[in-house]
Structure 1
Amino acid sequence: MNSVAVEAIAKYHSHNISSCQCGSINMQEIGAPLSQVWHLIRKFDRPQAYKLFVKECFVLVGSGSEVGSVREVHIKSELPATTSIERLDELDDEHHVMRFSIIGGDHRLTNYQSTISLHEISDEVTMVIESYIVDVPLGLTKEETCAFIDNIIKFNMRSLAEKIARFV
C-alpha cells in the first residue's frame, strides 16, 4: 500500500466498529485526473451515473449537493432490495471526501455509513478509497455481510473506472 493510501485511511477511513458491526476498506486506482473522477463521485443526486445497480434516484430533501440532502435510490432487480433512502452527511470539495448514511429502504443494511475519498497519485491517476461500517443482519456472519457489500463496491469502482475511461 502506498503512502497516499496509508495517510488517507488514517485521516478519513478510521471507524469505530462495535461487536455487532462489520466494515471494510476498498481501493481502486483510476487512470484519470482527480477532477474528472470527483465530478462523478460528488453527484449525490446521480449515483446511477456510474453505479450500474442503480435504476434511478430522486432527491427527497435538499438540493442533492448540500449536506443533509436525502435521496431515494431505486435499485435494479439483481439485488435483494428495491429502494434505499440515503442522507448526505459530508461533501468536502476541497479534500474530495463524501460521507453518506443509509437511513431507510427495503433492505437489511442498518446503520450503514460510507466514506469515499479521492487522492491524486499523479496528474493522470486518482486513488478512490471507499470504506463503510454496517450492522451485521441477523442470520448472517460478519464475513458474509462484508463480502456482499465489498462485491457491490468493487463492481461500482470498476464501473466508475470504465465510465471515465470512455471520456478520457
Structure 2
Amino acid sequence: MQGNISIGNVREVNVKSGLPATTSTERLEQLNDEEHILGIRIVGGDHRLRNYSSVITVHPEVIDGRPGTMVIESFVVDVPDGNTVEETCYFVEGLIKCNLSSLADVSERMAVPGRTYPLNV
C-alpha cells in the first residue's frame, strides 16, 4: 500500500516464509495508532486459508528490567476441506511466527538507525 492507509485498503503480499504459499491478498479491517491495534482479513492468494482474519495488538512491557514490547495476535480461520484443525493451526502459527519476526526486525531497524543486522541482546 502506498499513500494514505485506511480501512478497506487491499495489499498484495509476496510470501517469503517457506510456507506452502507465495502470494496473499489482505484487506485492512482495523487500524488504531493510538491503541496500537491492527486488524486484517485475507481475501485471496495461493494458500488454503479461508475466512482468515487476525487482530494484532502491541503493548509496552518491561522485560528483564528493560523496556520492551509484547505483541499479541489472535486469529480466526476456517479449516479447509482435506486439512485437520492441527494442520491449519500449524500453518497459521508458522505464518504468525514469520510476521512477528519481520515486525521485530523492522522495529529494531527503526530504533537503531543505520543498523542492518539483528540485535542479539
Q: Shorter-chain-normalised TM-score: which range?
A: 0.7 to 0.9
Task: Give the number of equivalent residue pairs.
Answer: 108
Which of structures 1 and 2 has the larger relative contact order (alpha carbons within 8 angstroms, sep 6+)? 1
Structure 2 distance, partners of 1:107, 1:64, is: 28
Contact 1:114 1:133 in 2 (8 A): yes
Residues 1:125 and 1:92: Cα distance change in structure 2 (over 3 Å): same
2:101 equivalent to 1:158:
yes
| Counterpart for residue 93 of structure 1 | 33
Contact 2:12 2:24 in 1 (8 A): yes
Structure 2: any 5+ residue segments left out of the alignment? 113-121
Is the partner of 2:87 in helix, strand or coil?
Answer: helix
Counterpart of 1:94, as a letter, is: E
Structure 1: any 5+ residue segments left out of the alignment? 1-44, 46-58
1:105-116 maps to which residues of 2 (within 5 A)? 105-116=45-56
| Counterpart for residue 68 of structure 1 | 8
Is the partner of 2:91 in helix, strand or coil?
Answer: helix
Among 77, 82, 98, the alignment partner of 1:139 is: 82
Identity, % of aligned positions: 53
Structure 2 distance, partners of 1:91, 1:77, is: 24
Residues 1:75 and 1:67: Cα distance change in structure 2 (over 3 Å): same
Among 88, 92, 116, the alignment partner of 1:149 is: 92
| Counterpart for residue 72 of structure 2 | 129
Considering fraction of residues, name the structure with more helix.
1
Considering fraction of residues, name the structure with more strand.
2
RMSD: 2.2
Contact 1:64 1:71 in 2 (8 A): no
TM-score (norm: length of structure 2): 0.76
Residues 1:118 and 1:72: Cα distance change in structure 2 (over 3 Å): same
Structure 1 distance, partners of 2:90, 2:96, is: 10
| Counterpart for residue 12 of structure 1 | none
Is the partner of 1:124 in helix, strand or coil?
Answer: strand
| Counterpart for residue 4 of structure 1 | none
Structure 1 distance, partners of 2:82, 2:20, is: 15
| Counterpart for residue 54 of structure 1 | none
